[in-house]
Amino acid sequence: MSDTPPAVLCTRRLPLEVEERLSRNYRARLNLEDRLYDEDGMVASSEGCDAILAAGGDCLHARTIDRLPDSVRIIATYSVGYEHIAVDRAKARGIVVTHTPNVLDDATADVAMLCLLGAARRGAEGDKMVREDAWKGWHTGLLVGVHVTGKRLGIYGMGRIGRAVAQRARGFDMEIHYYNRRRLPSDLESGAIYHESPESMLRVSDFLSINAPSSPETRGFLNAQSISLLPEGAVVVNTARGDLIDDDALIDALRSGKVAAAGLDVFANEPAIDARYRELKNTFLLPHIGSASVETRNAMGWCCLDNLDAFFAGNPCPNAL
Ligand code: DGY
Protein backbone atom coordinates (compact mmCIF):
# COMPACT_ATOMS: atom_id res chain seq x y z
CA MET A 1 0.00 0.00 0.00
CA SER A 2 1.18 3.58 -0.62
CA ASP A 3 1.83 6.02 2.24
CA THR A 4 -1.68 7.41 2.04
CA PRO A 5 -3.96 4.52 2.91
CA PRO A 6 -6.95 3.95 0.65
CA ALA A 7 -10.20 5.57 1.69
CA VAL A 8 -12.98 3.14 2.57
CA LEU A 9 -16.64 4.03 2.97
CA CYS A 10 -18.08 1.71 5.62
CA THR A 11 -21.82 1.82 5.03
CA ARG A 12 -22.97 0.37 8.39
CA ARG A 13 -21.67 0.08 11.95
CA LEU A 14 -19.50 -3.02 12.32
CA PRO A 15 -18.19 -4.77 15.46
CA LEU A 16 -15.80 -2.46 17.31
CA GLU A 17 -12.70 -4.59 16.69
CA VAL A 18 -13.49 -4.64 13.00
CA GLU A 19 -13.95 -0.87 12.82
CA GLU A 20 -10.69 -0.47 14.76
CA ARG A 21 -8.71 -2.60 12.32
CA LEU A 22 -10.36 -0.79 9.41
CA SER A 23 -9.45 2.60 10.91
CA ARG A 24 -5.86 1.49 11.66
CA ASN A 25 -5.15 0.43 8.09
CA TYR A 26 -7.37 2.68 5.99
CA ARG A 27 -8.86 6.13 5.90
CA ALA A 28 -12.14 4.82 7.19
CA ARG A 29 -15.32 6.79 6.61
CA LEU A 30 -17.55 5.29 9.28
CA ASN A 31 -21.32 5.59 9.44
CA LEU A 32 -21.58 6.32 13.15
CA GLU A 33 -25.34 6.87 13.03
CA ASP A 34 -25.78 3.57 11.17
CA ARG A 35 -28.33 5.10 8.82
CA LEU A 36 -29.14 3.23 5.63
CA TYR A 37 -27.98 5.16 2.57
CA ASP A 38 -30.37 5.66 -0.28
CA GLU A 39 -28.99 5.91 -3.81
CA ASP A 40 -28.02 9.58 -3.56
CA GLY A 41 -26.54 9.06 -0.11
CA MET A 42 -24.46 6.11 -1.29
CA VAL A 43 -23.13 8.02 -4.27
CA ALA A 44 -22.39 11.20 -2.31
CA SER A 45 -20.78 9.37 0.62
CA SER A 46 -18.48 7.34 -1.60
CA GLU A 47 -17.06 10.48 -3.24
CA GLY A 48 -13.26 10.27 -2.99
CA CYS A 49 -13.35 6.66 -1.70
CA ASP A 50 -11.32 3.80 -3.13
CA ALA A 51 -13.52 1.11 -1.63
CA ILE A 52 -16.95 0.50 -0.18
CA LEU A 53 -17.34 -1.88 2.73
CA ALA A 54 -21.04 -2.54 2.21
CA ALA A 55 -23.64 -4.74 3.92
CA GLY A 56 -26.77 -6.70 3.07
CA GLY A 57 -29.69 -4.44 2.15
CA ASP A 58 -27.46 -1.63 0.88
CA CYS A 59 -28.57 0.22 -2.20
CA LEU A 60 -26.06 -0.95 -4.82
CA HIS A 61 -28.32 -1.80 -7.72
CA ALA A 62 -27.36 -1.11 -11.32
CA ARG A 63 -28.20 2.60 -11.37
CA THR A 64 -26.26 3.26 -8.17
CA ILE A 65 -23.27 1.32 -9.46
CA ASP A 66 -23.34 3.38 -12.64
CA ARG A 67 -23.27 6.58 -10.59
CA LEU A 68 -20.43 5.62 -8.23
CA PRO A 69 -17.32 7.78 -8.54
CA ASP A 70 -14.52 6.34 -10.68
CA SER A 71 -12.31 6.23 -7.60
CA VAL A 72 -14.27 3.22 -6.22
CA ARG A 73 -12.44 0.06 -7.29
CA ILE A 74 -13.74 -2.56 -4.87
CA ILE A 75 -16.95 -3.30 -2.97
CA ALA A 76 -16.53 -5.76 -0.11
CA THR A 77 -19.93 -6.75 1.23
CA TYR A 78 -20.28 -7.82 4.84
CA SER A 79 -22.64 -10.65 3.85
CA VAL A 80 -22.59 -13.96 2.06
CA GLY A 81 -25.66 -12.93 0.03
CA TYR A 82 -25.06 -10.37 -2.69
CA GLU A 83 -28.43 -9.92 -4.35
CA HIS A 84 -28.33 -6.25 -3.25
CA ILE A 85 -25.38 -5.62 -5.58
CA ALA A 86 -25.50 -5.48 -9.38
CA VAL A 87 -22.36 -7.58 -9.61
CA ASP A 88 -22.24 -7.75 -13.42
CA ARG A 89 -22.61 -3.99 -13.69
CA ALA A 90 -19.84 -3.51 -11.13
CA LYS A 91 -17.56 -5.88 -13.03
CA ALA A 92 -18.33 -4.02 -16.25
CA ARG A 93 -17.03 -0.89 -14.55
CA GLY A 94 -13.93 -2.75 -13.38
CA ILE A 95 -15.10 -2.79 -9.75
CA VAL A 96 -14.23 -5.97 -7.85
CA VAL A 97 -16.97 -7.35 -5.59
CA THR A 98 -16.22 -9.66 -2.66
CA HIS A 99 -18.48 -11.34 -0.09
CA THR A 100 -18.13 -13.44 3.09
CA PRO A 101 -18.70 -17.13 2.36
CA ASN A 102 -17.75 -19.94 4.79
CA VAL A 103 -17.76 -17.91 7.98
CA LEU A 104 -21.47 -17.89 8.73
CA ASP A 105 -22.53 -21.44 7.91
CA ASP A 106 -22.64 -22.68 11.49
CA ALA A 107 -24.38 -19.64 12.96
CA THR A 108 -27.02 -19.69 10.24
CA ALA A 109 -27.55 -23.44 10.55
CA ASP A 110 -27.98 -23.00 14.31
CA VAL A 111 -30.75 -20.47 13.65
CA ALA A 112 -32.34 -22.82 11.11
CA MET A 113 -32.57 -25.44 13.87
CA LEU A 114 -33.91 -22.81 16.25
CA CYS A 115 -36.61 -21.96 13.69
CA LEU A 116 -37.32 -25.63 13.02
CA LEU A 117 -37.71 -26.47 16.69
CA GLY A 118 -39.40 -23.19 17.58
CA ALA A 119 -42.00 -23.71 14.86
CA ALA A 120 -42.53 -27.43 15.47
CA ARG A 121 -42.78 -27.14 19.25
CA ARG A 122 -44.71 -23.87 19.35
CA GLY A 123 -41.91 -21.88 20.91
CA ALA A 124 -43.41 -18.44 20.25
CA GLU A 125 -46.77 -19.34 21.80
CA GLY A 126 -45.10 -20.85 24.85
CA ASP A 127 -42.84 -17.85 25.41
CA LYS A 128 -45.79 -15.46 25.06
CA MET A 129 -47.91 -17.49 27.48
CA VAL A 130 -45.24 -17.43 30.18
CA ARG A 131 -44.37 -13.76 29.70
CA GLU A 132 -47.99 -12.66 29.76
CA ASP A 133 -48.73 -14.71 32.86
CA ALA A 134 -51.34 -16.63 30.89
CA TRP A 135 -50.00 -20.07 31.87
CA LYS A 136 -52.63 -21.72 34.04
CA GLY A 137 -50.78 -24.94 34.71
CA TRP A 138 -49.80 -28.21 33.06
CA HIS A 139 -52.31 -30.28 31.15
CA THR A 140 -52.00 -32.92 28.47
CA GLY A 141 -53.22 -30.66 25.68
CA LEU A 142 -50.91 -27.76 26.49
CA LEU A 143 -49.15 -26.52 23.33
CA VAL A 144 -48.84 -29.91 21.75
CA GLY A 145 -46.64 -29.59 18.68
CA VAL A 146 -45.14 -31.56 15.81
CA HIS A 147 -42.65 -34.31 16.68
CA VAL A 148 -39.21 -33.80 15.11
CA THR A 149 -37.26 -36.98 15.78
CA GLY A 150 -37.27 -39.46 12.91
CA LYS A 151 -39.04 -37.12 10.47
CA ARG A 152 -37.93 -36.39 6.90
CA LEU A 153 -36.20 -33.07 6.34
CA GLY A 154 -36.03 -31.71 2.79
CA ILE A 155 -33.25 -29.19 2.24
CA TYR A 156 -33.64 -26.87 -0.75
CA GLY A 157 -30.09 -25.78 -1.56
CA MET A 158 -27.34 -28.07 -0.26
CA GLY A 159 -24.46 -25.62 -0.20
CA ARG A 160 -22.36 -25.09 2.90
CA ILE A 161 -25.26 -23.79 5.00
CA GLY A 162 -27.62 -26.53 3.82
CA ARG A 163 -25.02 -29.14 4.72
CA ALA A 164 -24.51 -27.58 8.15
CA VAL A 165 -28.29 -27.83 8.69
CA ALA A 166 -28.19 -31.48 7.61
CA GLN A 167 -25.37 -32.19 10.04
CA ARG A 168 -27.37 -30.78 12.93
CA ALA A 169 -30.63 -32.45 11.88
CA ARG A 170 -28.90 -35.85 11.84
CA GLY A 171 -28.45 -35.32 15.58
CA PHE A 172 -32.25 -35.28 15.78
CA ASP A 173 -32.40 -38.56 13.84
CA MET A 174 -34.02 -36.82 10.89
CA GLU A 175 -33.83 -38.45 7.47
CA ILE A 176 -32.16 -35.95 5.16
CA HIS A 177 -33.41 -35.34 1.61
CA TYR A 178 -32.12 -32.59 -0.61
CA TYR A 179 -32.48 -30.80 -3.89
CA ASN A 180 -29.50 -28.99 -5.37
CA ARG A 181 -28.65 -27.92 -8.88
CA ARG A 182 -25.93 -30.55 -8.84
CA ARG A 183 -25.73 -33.78 -6.89
CA LEU A 184 -23.03 -33.66 -4.22
CA PRO A 185 -20.15 -36.16 -4.05
CA SER A 186 -20.95 -38.89 -1.54
CA ASP A 187 -18.52 -37.61 1.12
CA LEU A 188 -20.47 -34.33 1.21
CA GLU A 189 -23.84 -36.06 0.92
CA SER A 190 -23.14 -38.05 4.09
CA GLY A 191 -26.10 -40.32 3.38
CA ALA A 192 -28.55 -37.56 2.40
CA ILE A 193 -30.99 -38.61 -0.32
CA TYR A 194 -30.68 -36.61 -3.54
CA HIS A 195 -33.73 -35.59 -5.57
CA GLU A 196 -33.40 -34.60 -9.20
CA SER A 197 -36.30 -32.18 -8.92
CA PRO A 198 -37.59 -29.96 -6.12
CA GLU A 199 -41.03 -31.50 -6.70
CA SER A 200 -39.79 -34.97 -5.83
CA MET A 201 -38.15 -33.68 -2.64
CA LEU A 202 -41.17 -31.65 -1.58
CA ARG A 203 -43.38 -34.76 -1.63
CA VAL A 204 -41.34 -36.31 1.20
CA SER A 205 -40.56 -33.15 3.19
CA ASP A 206 -42.28 -33.40 6.56
CA PHE A 207 -39.95 -30.48 7.29
CA LEU A 208 -38.61 -28.16 4.61
CA SER A 209 -35.54 -25.98 5.15
CA ILE A 210 -34.84 -23.32 2.53
CA ASN A 211 -31.12 -22.72 2.15
CA ALA A 212 -30.66 -21.48 -1.42
CA PRO A 213 -29.55 -17.97 -2.37
CA SER A 214 -31.96 -15.51 -3.92
CA SER A 215 -31.65 -15.63 -7.70
CA PRO A 216 -33.99 -15.37 -10.68
CA GLU A 217 -34.25 -19.21 -10.57
CA THR A 218 -35.08 -19.50 -6.87
CA ARG A 219 -37.34 -16.49 -6.27
CA GLY A 220 -40.89 -17.56 -5.49
CA PHE A 221 -39.82 -21.21 -5.20
CA LEU A 222 -42.29 -21.89 -2.39
CA ASN A 223 -45.65 -20.97 -3.92
CA ALA A 224 -49.15 -22.46 -3.96
CA GLN A 225 -48.10 -25.16 -6.43
CA SER A 226 -44.99 -26.29 -4.54
CA ILE A 227 -46.76 -26.11 -1.18
CA SER A 228 -49.48 -28.40 -2.51
CA LEU A 229 -46.82 -31.11 -2.93
CA LEU A 230 -45.78 -31.05 0.74
CA PRO A 231 -47.19 -33.68 3.11
CA GLU A 232 -50.17 -32.46 5.15
CA GLY A 233 -48.99 -30.60 8.24
CA ALA A 234 -45.44 -29.97 7.02
CA VAL A 235 -43.21 -27.44 8.79
CA VAL A 236 -41.43 -24.77 6.72
CA VAL A 237 -38.18 -23.10 7.74
CA ASN A 238 -36.51 -20.21 5.91
CA THR A 239 -33.14 -18.77 6.87
CA ALA A 240 -32.07 -17.90 3.31
CA ARG A 241 -33.96 -15.01 1.73
CA GLY A 242 -37.60 -13.97 2.07
CA ASP A 243 -38.23 -13.65 -1.64
CA LEU A 244 -37.94 -17.42 -2.10
CA ILE A 245 -41.42 -17.63 -0.57
CA ASP A 246 -44.70 -16.39 -2.00
CA ASP A 247 -46.15 -14.93 1.21
CA ASP A 248 -49.79 -15.16 0.09
CA ALA A 249 -49.39 -18.87 -0.57
CA LEU A 250 -47.59 -19.66 2.69
CA ILE A 251 -50.05 -17.62 4.76
CA ASP A 252 -52.99 -19.44 3.14
CA ALA A 253 -51.32 -22.77 3.90
CA LEU A 254 -50.62 -21.77 7.51
CA ARG A 255 -54.26 -20.76 7.89
CA SER A 256 -55.61 -23.98 6.41
CA GLY A 257 -53.19 -26.22 8.33
CA LYS A 258 -51.67 -27.62 5.13
CA VAL A 259 -48.49 -26.17 6.63
CA ALA A 260 -48.61 -26.79 10.38
CA ALA A 261 -46.05 -24.13 11.27
CA ALA A 262 -43.33 -21.93 9.83
CA GLY A 263 -40.05 -20.76 11.36
CA LEU A 264 -38.86 -17.69 9.50
CA ASP A 265 -35.71 -15.65 10.03
CA VAL A 266 -35.93 -13.85 6.68
CA PHE A 267 -38.76 -12.09 4.87
CA ALA A 268 -39.57 -10.26 1.69
CA ASN A 269 -39.28 -6.51 2.15
CA GLU A 270 -37.51 -6.57 5.54
CA PRO A 271 -38.20 -5.07 8.03
CA ALA A 272 -41.66 -4.18 6.68
CA ILE A 273 -42.72 -7.82 6.60
CA ASP A 274 -46.16 -9.09 5.64
CA ALA A 275 -48.04 -8.21 8.84
CA ARG A 276 -50.26 -11.30 8.59
CA TYR A 277 -47.35 -13.45 9.78
CA ARG A 278 -47.54 -11.68 13.15
CA GLU A 279 -51.21 -12.55 13.56
CA LEU A 280 -50.69 -16.26 13.02
CA LYS A 281 -50.08 -18.39 16.09
CA ASN A 282 -48.27 -21.05 14.11
CA THR A 283 -45.31 -18.87 13.16
CA PHE A 284 -41.98 -18.55 14.91
CA LEU A 285 -40.45 -15.30 13.71
CA LEU A 286 -36.94 -13.90 14.04
CA PRO A 287 -35.48 -10.61 12.71
CA HIS A 288 -32.83 -11.93 10.28
CA ILE A 289 -30.30 -12.96 12.92
CA GLY A 290 -28.82 -16.00 11.17
CA SER A 291 -25.27 -14.66 11.38
CA ALA A 292 -25.72 -12.76 14.64
CA SER A 293 -23.18 -14.39 16.96
CA VAL A 294 -20.15 -12.45 18.21
CA GLU A 295 -17.73 -14.91 16.63
CA THR A 296 -19.49 -14.88 13.27
CA ARG A 297 -20.00 -11.14 13.05
CA ASN A 298 -16.28 -10.64 13.80
CA ALA A 299 -15.29 -13.31 11.28
CA MET A 300 -17.41 -11.59 8.61
CA GLY A 301 -15.53 -8.37 9.33
CA TRP A 302 -12.13 -10.05 9.13
CA CYS A 303 -13.17 -11.62 5.86
CA CYS A 304 -14.08 -8.20 4.36
CA LEU A 305 -10.81 -6.69 5.59
CA ASP A 306 -8.73 -9.60 4.29
CA ASN A 307 -10.29 -9.04 0.89
CA LEU A 308 -9.56 -5.30 0.99
CA ASP A 309 -5.99 -5.94 2.18
CA ALA A 310 -5.39 -8.42 -0.65
CA PHE A 311 -6.86 -6.07 -3.23
CA PHE A 312 -4.81 -3.04 -2.20
CA ALA A 313 -1.67 -5.18 -1.94
CA GLY A 314 -2.22 -6.12 -5.59
CA ASN A 315 -3.13 -9.74 -4.79
CA PRO A 316 -6.18 -11.73 -5.83
CA CYS A 317 -9.09 -11.32 -3.41
CA PRO A 318 -9.86 -14.60 -1.65
CA ASN A 319 -13.63 -14.09 -1.96
CA ALA A 320 -14.13 -12.25 -5.22
CA LEU A 321 -17.40 -12.94 -7.05
C1 DGY B 1 -25.79 -12.69 4.76
O2 DGY B 1 -24.59 -12.66 5.06
O3 DGY B 1 -26.17 -12.77 3.58
C4 DGY B 1 -26.76 -12.60 5.87
O5 DGY B 1 -28.05 -12.87 5.45
C6 DGY B 1 -26.70 -11.23 6.49
O7 DGY B 1 -27.06 -10.27 5.53
Tens of pLDDT along 69-111?
A: 999 999 999 999 999 999 999 999 999 999 999 999 999 999 9
Tens of pLDDT along 167-225?
A: 999 999 999 999 999 999 999 999 999 999 999 999 999 999 999 999 999 999 999 99
Tens of pLDDT along 219-236?
A: 999 999 999 999 999 999
Same domain, 173 and 63: no
pLDDT higher than threshold 60 for residue 119: yes
Number of the ligand 1 atom closest to the C-alpha atom of 55: 7
CA distance 143 to 310: 53
Same domain, 192 and 275: yes
Tell me what the pLDDT averaged over the chain comes to: 98
- Is the Cβ atom of 108 under 6 angstroms away from ligand 1? no
What does the pLDDT read at residue 3?
Answer: 81
Mean pLDDT of 112-117: 99
Report the share of the chain in percent with pLDDT over 70.
99
Is 24 inside any structural domain?
yes
| 300 CA → ligand 1 middle, Å | 10
Is 318 inside any structural domain?
no
Instruction: Grade residue 2 by pLDDT with cuts at 50, 70 and 90.
Output: low
pLDDT higher than threshold 70 for residue 309: yes
Mean pLDDT of 272-287: 98
Same domain, 114 and 95: no
Q: How many domains does the chain have?
A: 2
Same domain, 69 and 139: no
| 294 CA → ligand 1 middle, Å | 14
SS3 readout for 42-73: HHHHCCCCCEEEEECCCCECHHHHHHCCCCCC
Same domain, 13 and 41: yes
* Domain at 232, CATH number: 3.40.50.720
Is 22 inside any structural domain?
yes
Q: Is 189 a catalytic residue?
A: no
- Is the Cβ atom of 56 under 6 angstroms away from ligand 1? yes
Residue range of the domain that includes 53: 7-103+294-312
Q: Is 61 a catalytic residue?
A: no
Nearest CA among 142, 126, 145, 168 for reference residue 261: 145
pTM for this predicted structure:
0.96
17, 20, 270, 295: the active-site residue: 270
Q: Which residues lie below 8 Å from residue 210, measured CB to CB, with a gap of 6+?
A: 156, 157, 221, 222, 236, 237, 238, 239, 240, 244, 245
